[in-house]
Amino acid sequence: MLIETHGEQLICLPEHALFWPRQLTLFVADVHLGKAASFRAAGVAVPSGHSSFDLDRLSQLLTLHKAARFVILGDLVHTETSYTEALDRHFRTFRAQHRDIEMVLVRGNHDRHAGEAPAEWGLKAVAEPYALGPFQCCHEPDAAQGKGFELAGHLHPALRVQTAREGITLPCFWQHARGMVLPAFGSLTGKLSVRLKQGESAVVVAGQQLFRRHYQE
C-alpha cells in the first residue's frame, strides 16, 4: 500500500516492512533475533529456528526489491544471551548473501542492553534519531522530537478489528501526526493494541492483504 509524504513515496509491505523505492531502502523494526535462545537460557523451553526463519524472510525481501540500503529501526537482537554461535553463523551467511547492501542499525533499547554486534556482521550502528532524507529514523516514537517525518518501531502496534459478533487484533503500520510506527518484523514478538486518535490512521496487515483504517468517533 502506497503512502505519500514529504514529497516521497513509501510502500507498506504485508511482510511487516516498509520500502522507499526512490532510495531502494528497506525498513524493518523489532526483529528480536535470538529471543528463543534468550528464553532457553532463562530455563523456558522455547523451540529454536525463528532467527534463521526471519533472516530468510529478510533475505527474500532484500532480493525481491533490489534494495541498496537496509535500515533496522531498533531491536535487531533480543538480549546478550541471544548471541549464540548458531545466530552468529546464520547472520554471517545472511550478510555474505547481501555484501553490497548498506546495513544500518538504529540502536534500540534491546540492542543497547545486548551489546554491540560482531564487526563481521557489517552493521553501521547509529543512535536515534538518524536522519535519512526527509525521514528521522528512530526506535522509540517521539525520539525525533518533532523534527521531520519519524519512522519508528518499539511498540509492535496492532489494531483491534471488530465485526458484530467477533474481533481480532492484527499488526499494523500506525500513522500519527509526527510519522509512522512499523509493526514488529520478528516472528517471535508480541503486539500492543493501539487506539486511533483524531487525524490518525493505520494500514492493517491481514496475512498477505493490507487495508486502511481511519479514526472514527
DSSP notation for 127-170: PSSEEETTEEE-SSTTTTTTSSEEEE-SS-EEEEEE-SS-EEEE
Q: Which amino acid is residue 211, in one-letter code? A: F
- Is 194 strand, coil or helix? coil
pLDDT value for 45: 66
Cα 126 from Cα 104, distance rounded (Å):
7
Write out pLDDT tens, residues 93-140: 999 999 999 999 999 999 999 999 999 999 999 999 999 999 999 999
Burial of 203 by CB count in 10 Å (0-12 exposed, 13-18 middle, 19+ buried)? buried
Query: How large a percentage of the chain has pLDDT more than 70?
Result: 97
The reported pTM is 0.94
